[in-house]
Amino acid sequence: MARQQVALLLALAFALVVLSSTASAAVVQHTFNVENVTVTKLCQKHVITAVNGALPGPTIQVTEGDTLVVHVFNKSPYNVTIHWHGVFQLLSGWADGPSYITQCPIRPGHSYTYKFTITDQEGTLWWHAHVSFLRATVYGALIILPKSRHYPFATPHKQFPIILGEWWNANVIDIENQAQALGVPPNNSNAYTINGRPGDLYPCSKKHTYKLKVVHGKTYMLRIINAALNNQLFFKIANHKLTVVAVDASYTNPYVTDVVLLAPGQTADVLLITNQTPRAYYMAARPYVSAQNAPAPDNTTTTGILIYDQLPSTSPIMPILPAYNDTPTAHKFSSSLTSLVSSPNWKPVPKKLDEQILTTIGLSVSLCGGTNKCTFVSNKPFLRMSANMNNASFQLPQNLSILQAHFFNKKGIYTADFPGQPPLKFNYTDPVLSNSTALLFARQSTRVKQVKYNATVEIVFQDTSLIGVENHPMHLHGYNFHVVGQGFGNFDPVNDRKKFNLVNPVIRNTIGVPVGGWAAIRFQANNPGAWILHCHLDAHLSLGLATVIIVENGPTSSSTLPPPPHDLPQC
């Protein structure tokens, strides 16, 4: 063979290798300009902070294995970070995004490039701001398509993101600052939204209602995301059954239901078969509020319209939604889901445990701070409302992120003494104790739990009745977890353990812990980094319902977190 021919063949072979590797794993680039824009909603003009001027922000679509590169330019007047909710961030913890946990915020006028590869997961996730209350308007869908291009069910005719949101007729940063200053819960929202639109039950909203046009006799996939700040939501479509096939980007055994419940942070992929009389039907969402004796919630209803075959949308049929305090319906949905063992990224449940944590989750009071003008407890202006895990009310560091402090071994930012058991045992869910002065006070601190690489971890979340019982949606960064059990009342380590599902429990990144009850999760700590574990109601996160799990490096370079990127924002 002539020398030129060999060279040509080699060049061709090289080109093929390059082509095949780029075909299977692309680099997907986006630019996020975070800036203030004026929008009109509920009859008024509002200035909101949004990405690229849109609410919701851009939908990101990738294929599993792709590398996502997002250049974030903060042109807003506020500190900003972006979190990629549910993305594992394997060895890329510097891109996770929670402010003061894995990075300091991007200051106004500055930028940061998030770069990470999406591996071993597919389905519906989302992105949102992870600083203050900004995620009320800074959010969007993150859809991961299967590398194989096949779902574990027949490929739907079409698919649509359905993003549920929460809207205030006020600046959300002002709402948060006011709540912080007075040490009280934040004001209720004024509306819920579907894909950024309140829907026609609200004033001045009719012509902007979200409309989903379908044809008769097809199967559609709705990728539903609850991006609301502080409320769980029931979702229904009139006259239609929905089949849940995945939650939090983990496939489930198909579960047929007429109502879906999503806590903030959760997603559900549902199949919708358009087999009803062609006409218009409402899709609608309104809150599930589990707190008892709490002030009345924003119990309004957001709607979109499902329109068959181009028929006009006059008088759509309205579904009957569960009452806002319908805990049995909420619990039935949450406890009926199981994972699809045959799906590509399924992992077995850890059975031998290295770490077992029991932590209370709930409300408390802490020192007001500042000028002692808190109004939460009458005649006690030195006390604010707070929230805690195992009596530690989590306080964010201010001078360095926890991951930086861990990585560079800087002392004084956190202490690695988060208690693995409640410091005081009591009848956690006894309503008689809800105002017990001896139990109510929680000190603010920055206490984290440190675990060895690859440790198998079980965490039992135990709700308390202090101030009031409530369903807290607990979200863990960096991992999915198996929800091996859940129930009402106090966790019984003997009898409840016997009922654990160690075969096919649902796999999630956010679990709504039953109101006045408990939930047990398990995961394997195979991803070094600093991972916040927190209530995904922003109102409770900002009160301190959080801790951080630091996972140490493993023995090899493929189990070691690399150094931070050069543009990591500094405090």
Q: DSSP states of 91-150 as a string?
A: T-GGGS--BTTTBPPBPTT-EEEEEEE--S--EEEEEEE-STTGGGTSEEEEEEE-TTS-
- The answer to whether the bond into 528 is cis (omega within 30° of 0) is no
Contact by Cβ (8 Å): 357, 458:
yes
Nearer to Cu ion, 138 or 537 (CB): 537
Nearer to Cu ion, 224 or 474 (CB): 474
Least separation in angstroms between CB 513 and Cu ion? 9
Rounded Cα gap, residues 67 and 89, in angstroms: 11
Residue 104 token pair: 């300091």
Interface with Cu ion includes 541 (CB under 5 A)? no
125: amino acid identity, one letter: L
Strand (E) positions, 248-354? Answer: 250-257, 260-262, 267-273, 280-288, 302-308
The binder of Cu ion chosen from 66, 540, 546, 549 (CB under 5 A): 540
Least separation in angstroms between CB 535 and Cu ion? 3
Interface with Cu ion includes 229 (CB under 5 A)? no
Strand (E) positions, 290-377? Answer: 302-308, 355-367
Nearer to Cu ion, 37 or 291 (CB): 291
The binder of Cu ion chosen from 237, 268, 405, 535 (CB under 5 A): 535
The binder of Cu ion chosen from 537, 548, 549, 550 (CB under 5 A): 537
Least separation in angstroms between CB 539 and Cu ion? 7
Nearer to Cu ion, 305 or 330 (CB): 330
Piece in contact with Cu ion (CB under 5 A), picked from 28-36, 120-128, 342-350, 534-542: 534-542
Binders of Cu ion in range 447-466 (CB under 5 A): none
Least separation in angstroms between CB 349 and Cu ion? 26
Interface with Cu ion includes 475 (CB under 5 A)? no
Least separation in angstroms between CB 515 and Cu ion? 11
Nearer to Cu ion, 388 or 446 (CB): 388
# of chain residues touching Cu ion (CB under 5 A): 4
Piece in contact with Cu ion (CB under 5 A), picked from 332-340, 349-357, 469-477, 513-521: 469-477
Piece in contact with Cu ion (CB under 5 A), picked from 279-287, 299-307, 320-328, 530-538: 530-538
The binder of Cu ion chosen from 83, 406, 449, 472 (CB under 5 A): 472
Interface with Cu ion includes 130 (CB under 5 A)? no
Residue 545 token pair: 């319902």
Rounded Cα gap, residues 269 and 340, in angstroms: 13
Contact by Cβ (8 Å): 211, 307:
yes
Least separation in angstroms between CB 472 and Cu ion? 3
Strands 392-394 and 443-445, sheet pairing: parallel
Nearer to Cu ion, 413 or 535 (CB): 535
Q: Which of 234, 171, 228, 302 is nearest to 538 (CA)?
A: 228
What is the DSSP-derived secondary structure letter of residue 333? H
Nearer to Cu ion, 467 or 535 (CB): 535
Nearer to Cu ion, 449 or 472 (CB): 472
Least separation in angstroms between CB 537 and Cu ion? 4
Rounded Cα gap, residues 256 and 260, in angstroms: 10
| 448-451 β-sheet, strand order | 448-451, 546-551, 529-535, 472-476, 510-513
Q: Where does this chain bind Cu ion (CB under 5 A)? A: 472, 535, 537, 540
